[in-house]
Amino acid sequence: MGSERLPGKSLKKICGIPMLEHIINRISTSRKIHNIIIATSNNIKDRPIINLSKKLSIPYYAGSEDDVLERFIGAVESVSTDAEIARETIHESSSGQGSGQDSAQAIVVRICGDNPLIDIGYLDEMIDSHLSKKAEYTYNYSPIPIGTAGEVINYDVLKKLKSIAKDKRYREHVTTYILDHLNEFNVNCTKPPPYLEGRSFRFTVDTEEDLSLIRKIYRRLYSEGKIIETSQAISLLESNHPLSKINIHISQKDWRVK
């Protein structure tokens, strides 16, 4: 809720429904994700996120605002006993999820709470690839619309990061330590489906322009009780150039640059 460029963005209404609720509805259609938990902060400004969690009967965990790594780990541990963690999922709302690899390994899937067009089909493919390759961390490296992919990471890797990633930037940006030290982990990079690959659209919500685009896409494509396929949104923008230009000038914020 404390976004600098768009305060309160997680609960901005899209077709009358909070953005975070749309994201949860999308995740609920996954074939691979078994449980959802909203990982938010204990800052009072994020209380509305907790209220929405309660309204939707979705588990939540309120942890450190800055130490997001601690928040992830706390969220996973809050939903089950150690023996059950392998079947659990985590959603980061500043938000993530996961499913079981085997009886001894929990898989966490991180999904950001400002991506209302995340591609669930591709996310399921990432989870399948992660499991089949026995990876520790799976991500997308190819150019695709911003906000359409998640990340998959083993719970024990999160715990390892807690002990070795001491720099503040690595605590706030959870998986960045892995990307900066690729040789230390079994990393898996997946190939996106053709309709995503090479597209440069912004489907994340960081600014008023981003929100305006998402609202216009939803007005054209959303039906109550159904989710918009990411491929539909891409086809819409490719056939409507004025619509595609609404947020084309917005730059993705780089946390490494002050």
Q: How confident is the model at residue 251 (pLDDT cuts 50, 70, 90)?
A: confident
Q: What is the pLDDT of residue 80?
A: 65
C-alpha distances (whole Å) from 176 to each of 65, 131, 142, 168, 171 are: 17, 21, 17, 11, 9
At 188-234, the pLDDT tens digits run 999 999 999 999 999 999 999 999 999 999 999 999 999 999 999 99
Q: What is the pTM of this model?
A: 0.89
DSSP 8-state symbol, 146: B
Higher-confidence position of 97 and 177: 177
Q: How confident is the model at residue 252 (pLDDT cuts 50, 70, 90)?
A: confident
Please say if the pLDDT value at position 97 is more than 60.
Answer: no
Q: Is 113 helix (H, G, I), strand (E, B) or coil?
A: coil
**From 3.40.50.2000, 3.80.30.20, 3.90.550.10, 3.30.930.10, which CATH number describes the 9-200 domain?**
3.90.550.10
Mean pLDDT over 113-120 rounds to 97
| Residues 40-52 as b or e (16 or more Cβ within 10 Å = b) | bbeeeebebbbeb
The answer to whether 176 and 168 are in contact (CB under 8 A) is no
Mean pLDDT over 133-162 rounds to 96
Strands 137-140 and 151-154: antiparallel
Please say if the pLDDT value at position 175 is more than 50.
Answer: yes
Higher-confidence position of 110 and 101: 110
Q: What is the mean pLDDT of the chain?
A: 90
Strands 137-140 and 187-190: parallel
Mean pLDDT over 128-136 rounds to 97
Distance CA 214, CA 10 (A): 13
| Residues 113-125 as b or e (16 or more Cβ within 10 Å = b) | bbbbbbbbbbbbb
At 31-45, the pLDDT tens digits run 999 899 999 999 999
DSSP secondary structure letters along 168-202: HHHHHSTTHHHHH-GGGS-EEEEPPPTTTTT---B
Mean pLDDT over 234-250 rounds to 94
Per-residue tokens: 125:
């493919």
C-alpha distances (whole Å) from 18 to each of 127, 162, 178 are: 27, 32, 32
Q: What is the pLDDT of residue 257?
A: 47
Q: What is the pLDDT of residue 90?
A: 45
Please say if the pLDDT value at position 171 is more than 70.
Answer: yes
Q: What is the pLDDT of residue 255?
A: 46
| Residues 163-198 as b or e (16 or more Cβ within 10 Å = b) | eebeeeebbbbbbbbbeeeeeebebbebebeebbee
Please say if the pLDDT value at position 101 is more than 60.
Answer: no
Q: What is the pLDDT of residue 254?
A: 58
- Angle of helix 208-221 relative to helix 230-239, nearest 10 degrees, comes to 100
Please say if the pLDDT value at position 104 is more than 60.
Answer: no
In the chain, what are the domain boundaries?
Answer: 9-200
- Only one residue has tokens 């996120």, namely 49
Q: Is 160 helix (H, G, I), strand (E, B) or coil?
A: helix
Per-residue tokens: 116:
């209302």
Please say if the pLDDT value at position 184 is more than 50.
Answer: yes
Distance CA 199, CA 95 (A): 24
Mean pLDDT over 152-162 rounds to 95
